Structure 1
Amino acid sequence: MGGVSLDNLRTLSWVVPTVLLLAAGLVSWRTLHWSAVGSVLLFAALNVAAGIYILNHLGDPRWSAGGEPPLSAPSFSETPMVGQFLEPLDAALNAVVGQVNAFLAFQQGLSVAMEFLAISGWALLAAFPLALLAVIISYINAQRRAADFKKYRATVDLLQEELAELKRQISAGNFVPAALPAGNQVRDARAEPQGVTPPGA
């Protein structure tokens, strides 16, 4: 991560959870609420990781981008006539200025790290109501599925009861299919002359 700038860290902490949320929504939109919770937690984790990384590299000049420029000590060693006698003063001033620059870099890095950690804290705070909402949505979906299954089960039980009743009627001989007319009672209209009334009609 040595080549990652401060702006890249901020961008990655937003882009990665967003891309994963969109991908999870495309794969399974029914669990999008849980994907949203996971994305928020991932966002918080990435910000914590960035904050810890910055704390471990507080003196890195990347965190002072846009801040105060480093201080520089004036040089007295180039003063005519007495410059060689002022070289110890230059060394002392450079040491002091170096300590001040290190403190400023530490302060700027600490400020940036606290910014990432604060964002992570807000994300975790937002994750609690979001997780509660996801639990409620999951409960409602589970109740709906249970009601649908209960209705389906009731329909299956009713059909099984009707089938069992039909089997009992067939076994007891109470099931009588619709009777067809006997063969000798069926008249052939083609064999009868037109206009003649058959006997017994």
Structure 2
Amino acid sequence: MDLLGGVGRDELRIFSWAAAAVFALVAGVWRPRGLHWTALGSALLFAALNAGAGIYVLGHFGDSRWSARGEPPLSAPSFSGTPVVGQFLGPLDSTLDGVVGGVNDFLAFKQALPVALDFLAASGWALLVSFPLAVLAAGISAGTRYAVARRRTADFEKYRATVDLLKVELEQVKRQISSGNSVDTELPALVEVTDVRPRLMHRG
């Protein structure tokens, strides 16, 4: 079953652009932080749809939808109805039908080829655009991962410094208790220290 049987070449072009635009819109709303990947996906989708349209046109080159002038196919004259000798010219009719059918196929392919090449050219341009987009997207993703890794490393170092400071304060408290001194003052370091563990767990 040909699902595109009633779709003309203009509709195929519009469908390719519309599908890529809808994909970009939906993906952009769904993942607003991944716009670079959205742009790449839209370009690849546009390339794939145009390549498919070009292959479809070549596979259905005999369709009148690809004829810009809408010229009717050629028809072979019939000699079988000729008086007296018509019965002898019957085989000639089948031969002429085959020849004219071949000519019609050639003309139909000649008319469909530019349409298919337009779609394939659009697909090629989209693929060319997708290469720098892929490099850009990979670079942005790598930079984002590097920045996240640096933030997590800095948070971990801050957490480790906090733990070390708490250990020092604990040792001071132990020494004061062991020496019989009462600890009635608040340790300033314990007040100033900020525990970064919740933030590490939240970012992880």
Give the TM-score category using the shorter length. Answer: 0.7 to 0.9
State the Cα deviation string for residues 163-189 of structure 1 (Å, max 9, x = none).
11111111222673249xxxxxxxxxx
Distance 1:178 1:42 in 2: 68
Whether the aligned pair in 2 keeps the contact of 1:72 and 1:94 (CA below 8 Å) is: no
Of all paired residues, the percent bearing the same amino acid is: 43
TM-score (norm 1): 0.72
Whether the aligned pair in 2 keeps the contact of 1:41 and 1:123 (CA below 8 Å) is: yes
| Aligned twin of 1:176 | 183
Distance 2:112 2:154 in 1: 62
Q: Tell me whether 1:31 sits opposite 2:34 in the alignment.
A: yes
Whether the aligned pair in 1 keeps the contact of 2:76 and 2:100 (CA below 8 Å) is: no
Q: Could you tell me which amino acid in structure 1 is paired with residue 43 of structure 2?
A: V
- For residues 157-176 of structure 1, the aligned pairs below 5 Å read 157-173=160-176, 176=183
Q: Tell me whether 1:129 sits opposite 2:115 in the alignment.
A: no
1:47 to 41, 45, 50: 50
TM-score (norm 2): 0.71
Give ranges in structure 2 of 5+ residues lacking alignment: 187-204
Distance 1:16 1:93 in 2: 46
Q: In structure 2, the residue corresponding to 1:59 is in which secondary structure?
A: coil
| Aligned twin of 1:139 | 142
2:69 to 48, 54, 67: 67
Whether the aligned pair in 2 keeps the contact of 1:71 and 1:101 (CA below 8 Å) is: yes
Offset of residue 67 of structure 1: 3.0
Q: Could you tell me which amino acid in structure 2 is paired with residue 61 of structure 1?
A: S
Offset of residue 75 of structure 1: 8.0
Q: In structure 1, the residue corresponding to 2:161 is in which secondary structure?
A: helix
Distance 2:112 2:10 in 1: 14
Q: Could you tell me which amino acid in structure 2 is paired with residue 67 of structure 1?
A: R
1:9 to 12, 20, 35: 12
- Bigger drift between 15-24 and 94-103 goes to 94-103
Aligned residues: 172
| Aligned twin of 2:157 | 154
Task: Report which of the two structures shows the higher radius of gyration computed on alpha carbons.
Answer: 1
Q: Could you tell me which amino acid in structure 2 is paired with residue 118 of structure 1?
A: A
| Aligned twin of 1:192 | none
- Specify whether residues 153 and 74 from structure 1 end up closer, same or farther in structure 2 by C-alpha distance, changes over 3 A only: closer
- Specify whether residues 154 and 173 from structure 1 end up closer, same or farther in structure 2 by C-alpha distance, changes over 3 A only: same
Q: In structure 1, the residue corresponding to 2:128 is in which secondary structure?
A: helix
Offset of residue 103 of structure 1: 2.2
Q: Tell me whether 1:18 sits opposite 2:21 in the alignment.
A: yes
Moved beyond 6 Å, runs of 4+: 73-77, 91-96
Distance 2:112 2:83 in 1: 38
Distance 2:46 2:25 in 1: 14
- For residues 98-117 of structure 1, the aligned pairs below 5 Å read 99-117=102-120
